[in-house]
Amino acid sequence: METLKFWLQDHPSIVSFRWSPALSWGSTWFFLISAISFYVTAAVTLHLILRFLGRRRPVPLGPIPAIHNLAMSLTSLTIFTGMLLSAKAELRDTRWLWRRTRTTPFEWFLCFPLGIRPSGRVFFWSYAFYLSRFLHMLRTFFIVLRHRKLSFFRLFNHSILLVMSFLWLEFTQSFQVLAILFSTAVNTAVYGYRLWVEIGLPVRNFWFTVDCQMVLLCCNLVCHFGVLLLHYLRGGCNGIGAWLFNSLLNVAILMLFLRSYVNEFWRRNLNNPTSYSSSKDYSPKHAKLNGSYAKLN
């Protein structure tokens, strides 16, 4: 346990981390805009090339998707554990400040005090989460190659997640600790489930990943109300401008997700009324028969 704490909490690189263009890779606005532009252009180009070639069969990818799912699940688990240990250490080291300002640890999770800078343990793992978004984007290309499906929701969602994680660091936004804990916990379960499906093992719930994403979005929405309340009761939260922008983006993602969720639910029940309740086995072969699996997941 002490070894784990050292590598995830007390390592010099973690303790001395500081977000700055000179020290952190990918920490400039130019890089962010260029990365999103390249991602969207590459995905659309690949989709158009496959349509132009008239290829109907999935492109064989071998074990690459399974390796990607394993990498994402382990990465998310590492970031979750590191963030949890680091947040605990930060609360321990600044306990004297909470007594002086009459602030509870729960309030710190939702509302950073004004003037805080993006340095230290917590922001190291926030930076790791930001970098993991690039690995997350690779899933789009797997979906295009396998199912020839490219939805606006997928491009928008992945791009916005990258922007939000960048804003967390750039403006030292409040609520990012809880948001990262929620996201990495869900991603660990979702990508572990996808790995289970990818290697051909039987599963029971087609809607598992969709429901996990729905729970994540709803939890984030509820916590945003807590941030707004503390902002007015405690005299201000750091990065509230970025928080407001991210809140609007979260609402947009939630609306698009609900629309996709409801449409898919009704489509599947109209086509097969017993599919939702009696589906016990699902494999990648079934995904070939249902392109909407790629869109929702």
Rounded Cα distance between 113 and 127, Å, is 20
pLDDT of residue 206: 56
From residue 75, alpha-carbon distances to 135, 184, 255, 287 in Å are: 10, 8, 28, 25
The torsion defined by the Cα of 250, 181, 102 and 167, in degrees rounded to 10, comes to -50
Give the phi and the psi of residue 272 in degrees, each rounded to 5: -150, 95
Please state the separation of Cα 290 from the chain's center in Å.
Answer: 24
Q: Please name the residue that has the structure tokens 């990365």.
A: 35
Residue 18 lies in a domain: no
Do the beta carbons of residue 49 and residue 71 sit within 8 Å?
A: no
Rounded Cα distance between 37 and 198, Å, is 30
Q: Which of 207, 202, 130, 217 is nearest to 168 (CA)?
A: 130
Is the overall model pTM greater than 0.85, yes or no?
A: no
Count of domains for the chain? 1
Domain range for 189 is 29-268
Residue 273 lies in a domain: no
Residue 70 lies in a domain: yes
pLDDT of residue 284: 40
Do the beta carbons of residue 124 and residue 86 sit within 8 Å?
A: yes
Residue 218 lies in a domain: yes
Do the beta carbons of residue 147 and residue 288 sit within 8 Å?
A: yes
From residue 257, alpha-carbon distances to 61, 96, 161, 253 in Å are: 28, 43, 14, 6
Residue 225 lies in a domain: yes
Please state the separation of Cα 220 from the chain's center in Å.
Answer: 12
pLDDT of residue 236: 82
- Return per-residue pLDDT of the chain as tens, 297 residues: 888 889 999 899 999 999 998 889 999 999 999 999 999 999 999 999 988 887 678 888 889 999 999 999 999 999 999 999 999 988 887 776 666 666 777 788 888 888 888 999 999 999 999 999 999 999 999 999 988 888 888 898 899 999 999 999 999 998 899 999 999 999 999 999 889 888 877 665 656 777 787 788 778 878 888 888 888 887 788 888 888 888 888 788 778 777 777 776 677 666 655 544 433 333 443 333 334 333 444
Which two tokens mark 226?
């807590």
Residue type, 92: R
Residue 60 gets the label, from left (phi > 0), alpha (psi -120 to 50) or beta, of beta
Residue 65 lies in a domain: yes
Residue 296 lies in a domain: no
Whats the size of the chain, residue-wise? 297
Which two tokens mark 199?
């290697």
pLDDT of residue 268: 65
Residue 132 lies in a domain: yes
